[in-house]
C-alpha cells in the first residue's frame, strides 16, 4: 500500500513517495496500476512464489483508510502482517528508510486513517525519509511541494531501495528486510 495524494498536482511531491514505490514495483514486474472499485489504483504481481496486491489509494492521504479497508476485504487481508504501508516520513533524513512491524502513528494522518478503518496498528510500515522542512516552512507545505533536483535524486534512489525492501519482506520476511534496509545509506547511495 503506497500512500500519497491523487492527481497530477501531487505527482513527484515528497508526500507521494509511497505511491511512487508501488508504481515502481508494478513496473518492475511488468504490470501497471489500474483503477479499481475500492477507490484505488491496483495491480497484482508475483514476487518469488507469492502473489502480491499493490495499491495506491485514490482518496486523499488523510482518508487512506477508507480505501485500505475496502482493499483488505477484496484481497482477504485479515491480519496486520499481511499489509505493508509505504509512506513519507519527516522525522527521517531525506533518503533514509525505516521498516518496522506495528507501532504508533507519529502524527501521520494517513496512518491514523488506516488504523481507524482496519482496527489495528500491527501492519508493517516502510517509512521513506523526506527530511525536515526549513524553519520558515510548514511541514504540510514542504511535503506537498516537489523537491529540488538534488533532493529528488536522493528520493529516487530511496524509492528504488524501498521497492527492494518490499521484495525482500515478501521473499525473506520482515526481520531480514529490517536488518538490511534499516541501515543508513552509504555515501555513494545519497
Query: Which H helix or E strand runs over 84?
Result: strand 84-89
Q: Which of 15, 29, 87, 108 is catalytic?
A: 15
Three-state DSSP state, 34: strand
Q: Pull the grid cell for residue 53.
A: 496486491
Closest by alpha carbon to 67, among 85, 48, 45, 94?
A: 85
Strand partners, 51: 46
CB 84 within 8 A of CB 126: yes
Calpha distance 151→95 (Å, rounded): 8
Active site residue 15: yes
> What's the residue count for the chain?
190
Residues identified as active-site: 15
Amino acid at each position: 500500500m503506497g500512500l500519497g495524494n491523487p492527481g497530477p498536482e501531487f505527482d513527484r511531491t515528497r508526500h507521494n513517495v509511497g505511491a511512487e514505490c508501488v508504481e515502481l514495483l508494478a513496473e518492475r514486474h511488468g504490470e501497471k496500476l489500474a483503477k479499481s472499485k475500492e477507490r484505488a489504483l491496483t495491480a497484482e504481481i508475483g514476487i518469488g512464489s507469492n502473489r502480491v496486491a499493490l495499491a495506491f489509494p485514490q482518496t486523499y492521504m488523510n482518508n487512506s483508510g477508507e480505501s485500505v479497508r475496502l482493499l483488505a476485504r477484496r484481497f482477504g487481508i485479515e491480519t496486520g502482517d499481511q499489509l505493508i504501508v509505504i509512506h513519507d516520513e519527516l522525522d527521517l533524513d531525506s533518503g533514509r528508510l525505516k521498516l518496522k512491524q506495528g507501532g504508533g502513528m507519529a502524527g501521520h494522518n494517513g496512518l491514523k486513517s488506516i488504523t481507524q478503518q482496519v482496527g489495528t496498528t500491527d501492519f508493517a510500515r516502510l517509512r521513506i525519509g523526506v527530511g525536515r522542512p526549513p524553519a520558515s516552512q510548514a511541514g504540510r507545505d514542504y511535503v506537498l511541494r516537489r523537491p529540488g533536483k538534488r533532493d529528488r535524486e536522493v528520493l529516487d534512489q530511496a524509492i528504488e531501495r524501498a521497492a527492494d525492501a518490499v521484495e525482500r519482506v515478501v521473499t525473506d520476511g520482515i526481520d531480514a528486510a529490517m536488518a538490511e534496509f534499516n541501515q543508513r545509506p552509504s555515501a555513494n547511495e545519497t
